[in-house]
Chain A
Amino acid sequence: MPQPEVLEAVLGYLRGNSPDPDLQAESNLEGLLAESLALMELIIFLEDEYGLQFQRADLDPENFSTPQRIVQLVLRKQAS
Chain B
Amino acid sequence: MEKHRHEVVLGVLGALAALAYLWTDWMTIWAPPPRVTEALKPWLGPEGYFHSGVATLTFPGLPEMNTQLQILLLLTAPAFLLSYYLPPPRKKLPVVMLTLLGVGLVCGSRALLALGAFHLSFYLVLHRPRPRSGPDLLWALALAGLWGDLFGFLGAALLWGLYARGGEGFLKGAGGRWLGSLLAWSPLWVMAAGAAGVALLGWEPFKFSLEFVILAWSWIRIIWYHADYRDGRVPTELSLTDYLATFFSPAYLAALPSGHMIGKGYSYHSRSFLARDKNTLALSGLAYLAWAFVFLSLGPWLVEGMAELIVQLKVPVFKTFDQVMALAKLNIVPRPLSLWGLFLIRVAATYFLLAGFSHLKVGLWRLMGYDLEPNFDWALLSTNFLEFWRRFNFYLREFYLTVFYYPVFLRLRGPRWWRTTVAIFAAAGAGNFLAHLVDDTIAQGVDPERLWANLRTLPYYLGFSLALTLNALWQLRQPRPLPKPWKGGWKGVAWSGLGLVLTLSTYIWLRFFHYTPMYHPFANVWKVARGALGL
Interface residues of chain B: helix, strand, loop or mixed (majority): helix
A37: interface (CB < 8 Å): yes
- Which residues of chain B come closer than 8 Å to A35, judged between CB atoms? 386, 390
Per the bound structure, the CA–CA distance linking A32 and B472 in Å amounts to 16
Contact A56 B416 (CB under 8 A): no
- Which residues of chain B come closer than 8 Å to A36, judged between CB atoms? 401, 405-406
Shortest CB distance B471–A (Å): 9
Per the bound structure, the CA–CA distance linking A41 and B477 in Å amounts to 12
What 4 pairs across the A-B complex have the smallest Cβ distances?
A57-B231, A17-B480, A56-B406, A54-B410
A18: interface (CB < 8 Å): yes
Contact with B along A27-65 (1 / 0, CB 8 A): 000001001111011011000000001111101100000
- Which residues of chain A come closer than 8 Å to B231, judged between CB atoms? 55-57, 60
Contact B472 A56 (CB under 8 A): no
- Which residues of chain B come closer than 8 Å to A41, judged between CB atoms? 416, 476, 480
- Please give the number of chain B residues whose Cβ is less than 8 angstroms from any Cβ of chain A in the complex: 24
- Which residues of chain B come closer than 8 Å to A44, judged between CB atoms? 416, 419
- Which residues of chain B come closer than 8 Å to A37, judged between CB atoms? 386, 420, 472, 475-476
**26 A-B pairs (CB sep. < 8 Å):** A17-B480, A17-B481, A19-B481, A35-B386, A35-B390, A36-B401, A36-B406, A37-B386, A37-B420, A37-B472, A37-B476, A40-B409, A40-B416, A40-B419, A41-B416, A41-B476, A43-B409, A44-B419, A53-B410, A54-B410, A55-B231, A55-B410, A56-B227, A57-B233, A59-B406, A60-B233
A44-B416, A56-B402 provided; 17 other pairs, C-beta below 8 A? A35-B386, A36-B401, A36-B406, A37-B420, A40-B416, A41-B416, A43-B409, A43-B410, A44-B419, A54-B410, A55-B231, A56-B227, A56-B407, A57-B231, A57-B232, A59-B406, A60-B231
B67: interface (CB < 8 Å): no
What size tier do the contact residues of chain A reach? 10 to 19
Of all chain A residues, the one with the shortest Cβ separation from B389 is A36
Binding site for B on A (CB under 8 A): 17-19, 32, 35-38, 40-41, 43-44, 53-57, 59-60
- Which residues of chain A come closer than 8 Å to B66, judged between CB atoms? none
Contact A56 B410 (CB under 8 A): yes
- Which residues of chain B come closer than 8 Å to A40, judged between CB atoms? 409, 416, 419-420, 423
Of all chain B residues, the one with the shortest Cβ separation from A53 is B410
Tell me the residues in window 416-439 of chain B with beta carbons closer than 8 Å to chain A beta carbons.
Answer: 416, 419-420, 423
Tell me the residues in window 62-90 of chain B with beta carbons closer than 8 Å to chain A beta carbons.
Answer: none
Per the bound structure, the CA–CA distance linking A32 and B38 in Å amounts to 51
Per the bound structure, the CA–CA distance linking A36 and B407 in Å amounts to 13
- Which residues of chain B come closer than 8 Å to A55, judged between CB atoms? 231, 410
B181: interface (CB < 8 Å): no
Shortest CB distance A32–B (Å): 7
B516: interface (CB < 8 Å): no
